Amino acid sequence: MSKQFLTKTRVTAEDFVEAGGRPVLERYDELVDLLAARLGPEAAELFAEPLISRGNDQAPPTISWYGPGGGEARALDRLEGAERALIQRYLSDHLRPLRALADTGAGDGLLAGALSLYGEGDVLVVDGLPVIVNWGLMPGGKGAAATARPDHYAATIGRYLPAAPMAASAPPAAAAPPDGRAQGSDVPPPPPPTGGAPTVPADPPAPAPRRGISPLAWVPLLVLLLLAGGTLAWLLMPGTRLFNAAAPVAVTEARILGAARAENEALQARRTRLQQALAGAQCRADGELILPGGLTPEGLTPPELGTAPEARAEAEPDAMLPSRSNRVVVPDGADGEVSLLARLEASTVMVLSSGNGELALGSGFSIAPGLIVTNYHVIEQALGTGSEIFVAGAGLSAPQAATVVKRAGPLLDTGADFALLQIADEGLPPLPVHVPETSLKLANVVAAGFPGDVLETDAGFAALSRGDVAAVPELTVTDGIVNTEQQLSDQTHVLMHSAALSSGNSGGPLVDMCGRLVGVNSFVRKGPMQNRGFALTSADLLAFLDGTAAAPVLDATPCRPVVVRPGAASTDGQ
């Protein structure tokens, strides 16, 4: 198997194109051997190696694609200028003889089947060479529909060979035309034998006389133009267009892996920063540790020796160590304040969804009176008939039934993973939303939710599971920093952070040290040493909420956390 993972595709069993009574994807080794023997190793390396998982009744089949090289995989359609032209020329030069060989019926239609691609963006570039993924597939369950292949071929791989139409099915090696070429081949005819007399072409037939066009023949064209103009004007009117302006760009496993690599680099930079701070730190006579720059590890300005500190102080948002959430105070109402911990306990909820005989658990938070945000994948199984969604939390007197107002997902298909729920109780305090104007990298953040590995030993959750509607599980909060910011697609932006997450945190809030939402925790990548938390950004959430009744409070000001100093009375919000 090739070493580098490129991408992963979810398909249906009907999408597989067959040749010789078998899916062409199952004949990968035969395909490579055929291409290497007839066209050379470069042609064989055009096709990524598939690893097929057939799925089951609950999960669809998936295909993981692997290719040679160790560089970043980039979509050919995303390249520009000379680089794109060079790759397209290389691809065209190697596809032309492959296409000609396919038209001979080589491999019992195997080559023709391999030239059926799932979509337009299935040519990747790795280490300066093209690699084709999602070959041997037809979307929409059309794998067995040979008549659908010509048009689909022209819209996909055929773009790089516009002069070579794709046959509905590869013809067998039949009688060749008089010039010795296979039917439909792009290979030029062989030259005449050396020393032989040149062949004299026959005189072309005389062209048929041209006839004039009657003025009445233009009438249908004018009618069509008027109809097209009217249709276009209707589509441009606000409120009439019922489809998206552009198809969403799916998030790929390759992009997620690339983001994880970027986080590794950020963690290494963080380690270097901590080592430098520790090397230059000094301990004062009163036991206060002072870092280079004159601040405490919490980002506070220390008082003069022998002077009592003020009860409250502003801390740096990117302090080496975040302050405890019960010591950070945030605004509450017009003039009040509450601890960050109390705010999260009042606004964060547990989301339970049942469907297909299974129960899924996740987290959510109040974004507006009676409206809860969570992840799409938390409530996905409860979208069918006979399913239920409930919301529970410290701010609710009893679990509330919830209905889905809007949803967007799954993440890998649409680039989004959001759901907006509505409950009857409108008393939960909504979290304000922060859309930063500058980078959040190294900013301290807090994640809140109901991770399943913690709930396993939670007495409140056990009581709730037994039917005690008054029981409330304990909220789990973890702190960390934003390691890096990444864009996974045109419409998918994530914050990767070090606040510990696990299954059940999905849909929970990620807030800054001023209690404002900066992201929605959505998934975790498991590494050998730690889990990496990914949160969809607040900007992506606002784009999802556009057009709904949710009107969150926005705050774009930079965060200056207010901290209750050690020794002063803590604020618990009670």
Summarize pLDDT for 3-35 with one digit per residue, the tens. Answer: 678 888 888 888 888 988 889 899 999 999 888
- Measured CA to CA in angstroms, residue 100 lies from 28, 104, 184, 185 at distances of 19, 7, 7, 5
Instruction: Give the model confidence (pLDDT) of 468-503 as tens digits.
Output: 777 888 999 999 899 888 888 888 899 999 898 888
- Cα(279)–Cα(238) distance, integer angstroms: 62
- Please indicate, yes or no, if residue 183 is contained in any of the structural domains: no
Does residue 310 lie within any of the structural domains? no
Q: How confident is the model at residue 521 (pLDDT cuts 50, 70, 90)?
A: very high
Beta strand spans in 340-475 (E): 348-355, 358-368, 371-374, 388-392, 400-401, 403-408, 418-422, 444-449
Contact (Cβ atoms closer than 8 angstroms) between residue 130 and residue 91 = yes
Total H helices, total E strands in the chain: 13, 27
- What does the pLDDT read at residue 193? 37
The 10 Å Cβ neighbour count of residue 332 is: 17
Which of 294, 300, 257 has its CA nearest to residue 444? 300
Of the residues 119, 145, 160, the one at which a domain ends: 160
How confident is the model at residue 565, as a pLDDT? 72
pLDDT tens digits for range 303-324:
777 677 777 777 777 776 677 7
pLDDT > 70: percent of the chain: 71
Is 271 inside a domain boundary?
no
* Amino acid at position 565, single letter: R
Residue at which a domain ends, from 160, 176, 194 = 160
Residue with tokens 């790929």: 252
* Cα 455 from Cα 452, distance rounded (Å): 5
Compute the radius of gyration of the chain from its Cα atoms: 31
pLDDT tens by residue, 529-548? 456 789 999 999 999 999 99
Q: Is residue 260 part of a domain?
A: no
Are 471 and 532 a contacting pair, CB within 8 Å? Answer: no
Domain count, the chain: 2
**Cis geometry, peptide bond prior to residue 41 (ω within 30 degrees of 0):** no
Average pLDDT of 55-65?
A: 74
User: Any idea what the CATH number is for the domain that residue 560 is in?
Assistant: 2.40.10.120
Mean pLDDT of 161-166: 50
Q: Which domain holds residue 16?
A: 4-160
Cβ-Cβ contacts under 8 Å for 404 (sequence gap 6 or more): 379, 383, 389, 419, 420, 421
Assigned domain for 543 exists: yes
Is 101 within the bounds of a domain? yes
Q: Two tokens at 188? A: 């030029």
How many other CB atoms are there within 10 angstroms of residue 43's CB atom?
A: 18
Query: Is position 434 within any domain?
Result: yes
Burial label for 448, CB within 10 Å (0-12, 13-18, 19+), is buried
The pLDDT tens digits for 223-282 are 666 666 665 554 455 443 333 334 445 556 566 666 666 656 666 666 676 676 676 677
Residue 391 inside a domain? The answer is yes
Q: Assess whether pLDDT exceeds 60 at residue 418.
A: yes
In this predicted model, which residue has the larger pLDDT, 58 or 137? Answer: 137
Asked which of 160, 179, 202 is the last residue of a domain, the reply is: 160
